[in-house]
Chain A
Amino acid sequence: MTWSEGGRTQLSEILVFEKAFDDTAQDVADLALSSFDQCDGVGMQLVDADGLSTRFFTDTRSSQFDALQEQFDDGPCVACLRTGEQYDLEPVTADERWPSFAPPARRAGLIACLALPLIAQGAVIGALNLYAWPVVGFQGWDRQTAGNFAARASISLASARVYARTQVLITDLRARIASADDIVDRAHGALMALENTSLEVAITRLADLADEQRSTLDGAAHSVIDSLGDD
């Protein structure tokens, strides 16, 4: 197995602003498949800071192998995500390390699997699973090259995610600015005037009111503003 110069070049050519994050991630999975000639399919699982995971596949079979591991909570990918280390499934049938995952995977034709941790800034951000199901002649994985690919892919994915976060924030800020409703701010001001207090106290006061009324901040703000007309 060789990591082609092409694969290396393309990983370092990822423009974070050209595509949506998920499309960039799919490109990385596709690139892994085309970069290793012993690899027949790729599954990639990415985990974000909130623990939510997203999956990417190059084909249905790889998707099924990933799903099997998740279903049995057993297999190289599961162990890799847990520990941040490389794990594999060797092309042998005796002495299986993955008692739940290996038998059904073997029946489905899997010969070998290599799960590579994706690590950026010290945190495990996912796992890249290389699957092999050749009819004959599996040559084995070049673990070091595969590890280098995963390390470079981790950097590209983490960078693309950093940029994607800025775009989410921009959309959110634009939406907040576009919404004409400033009821919460007005309620903060009204509370300041009514109770002759500072903005900080007024902000806490409105949050307490929302709690007391078992309502949202918006609901509490409406009640404050409505009460202005009462006196």
Chain B
Amino acid sequence: MGDAIVGIVANPLSGRDIRRLVTQASVFPTAEKANMIRRMLTALGAVGVDRVLLNTDLGGISASVLRAIGQRPAQAGAGPDGRWPEVEFLDGHPIRQTAQDTVDAVRRMVAAGARVIVCLGGDGTARVAASAVGEVPLLALSTGTNNVFPAVREATVAGLAAGLVATGQVPAEGTVSRAKLLEVRAGGRAETALVDVAVSTERHVGARAVWDPATVTQLFCTFAEPDAIGLSSVLGQLCPVTRHEPHGVTARIAPDAARQVLAPIAPGLVVPVGVGEIGRMDPGSEHRVEARAGVIAVDGERELTFEPGERPTVRLRADGPRCVDVPVVLAASARLGLLMRTRQ
């Protein structure tokens, strides 16, 4: 299992945007992100992962993990904390404090042979990590705001699942499933989304988050779950689509529409959203953005502005990232008795 490498990328800036101010979105302190990684290292060590690659950051997460490693007693085998894998910090590259840092770190992890990549962040971080992960299985854990794609899950349990897949004890087949993806194209630029694409009448990317449904005119979703948070929850209540169904769903959004859905479009914000015509998105089919100009938000964050004549399009793709399904992995582990030990 010498090649059982797991990459962990944590976004130091997730969970800090304007939604702390305009809604009551949660704050995920740096110290807790570092603690999650420590708990995950314990779990990864317990199932035999030898090496972990961790991104470096200027937000204090990697520094905190480095400190924790220094404070641990020498690798003493079984104990309350158990054996940790060797941790290699991916330093030596410039840190820009932008999403590019996540892309760079994930690429380096892929190149170094990581078998699973865990990302800590919100939907935005998962989206960026997914764009660079290629065929390596991704496990997205929530430390952000709108957490539809990444799961809110105990890091120890996620670490066990990541470790069982990375070491090959649980086969990827049936426990790692491919996600859908939305591809937006506007005037030569392209973006992807894992959950939703929203077209907004705002003129600028500005504070990025979308929390005012009156500005949204069109919505595209890879999946729409009735218990989601964020814009996809609107269609989750009207016409749910699961993550595993091949199609997606799109709708026109209009404040004065007869049909209104009371939806949790951001943490602490439950508002009526007017929904017009609803359509199915089949894989590969191209859908036009109807507005002449505005901003396109991917997974809840305004990302692209477009001008008259650019005529953006949105396409559902079936070739999204391969994602580790934590409950399925641990169910397989139970069937195979992988965590069973006999007392000597």
Partners in one complex: no
> Which residues from chain A sit less than 8 Å from chain B, CB to CB?
none
